[in-house]
Amino acid sequence: MSSHGTFHCNERVTRNVEGVKAFYRDTIGWTFDSMPTPDGRTYWVAIMDGKPVAGIYPIDTPEFDGVPEGWMSYLSVDDVDARAAKAVKAGARLMRPIFDAPDVGRIAILTEPGGAGIGWITPVAMP
C-alpha cells in the first residue's frame, strides 16, 4: 500500500474505452481485467508483467458531460474525509461526494484552487 502523500494510482477517463484499451495494448503491451463498479459500470484494470499499473474508467453517460478525457492521478491520504475537509477550507472543491469503492478504498475527487483535478484515496488495507 502506498504511504500518505504519495501517488497511489493513475486512471484514464474516457468516452472510448475500447479505443483506449487498444491503444495501450498495441503500443505498451498492457492487458486488461474487468471489474464491476458500484454504479453498474465496468472498470478496467491495466496489467503489465502480472501487476496492475493503471485503470480505465468510462465517462460516456450524461453525468460526465463537460468532463474532459484525460488521466487522473490519485494520492494516498491517511484519512480522506479529514483531508478533503482541509482541502475545501483551503479553496478546493469536491467534484462529487466522497465515496467508497469496494475493495479499493474511500475516494475524494477534488478540483484544486488552481483548477487541476486530483483524486485522494484512503486505500483499504491489503491482506
Residues 1-38 pLDDT 10s: 578 999 889 999 999 999 999 999 999 999 999 998 87
Mean pLDDT of the chain: 92
Adjacent-strand bridge partners of 13 = 57, 70
Domain CATH code at residue 100: 3.10.180.10
Segment (H or E) for 100: strand 99-101
Segment (H or E) for 70: strand 70-76
The count of structural domains within the chain is 1
Enter the C-alpha cell of residue 23.
491503444
50 inside domain: yes
31 inside domain: yes
Adjacent-strand bridge partners of 100 = 106
Radius of gyration of the chain from its Cα atoms, rounded to whole angstroms: 15
Distance set, CA 89 to CA 20, 73, 84, 85 (Å): 36, 21, 9, 6
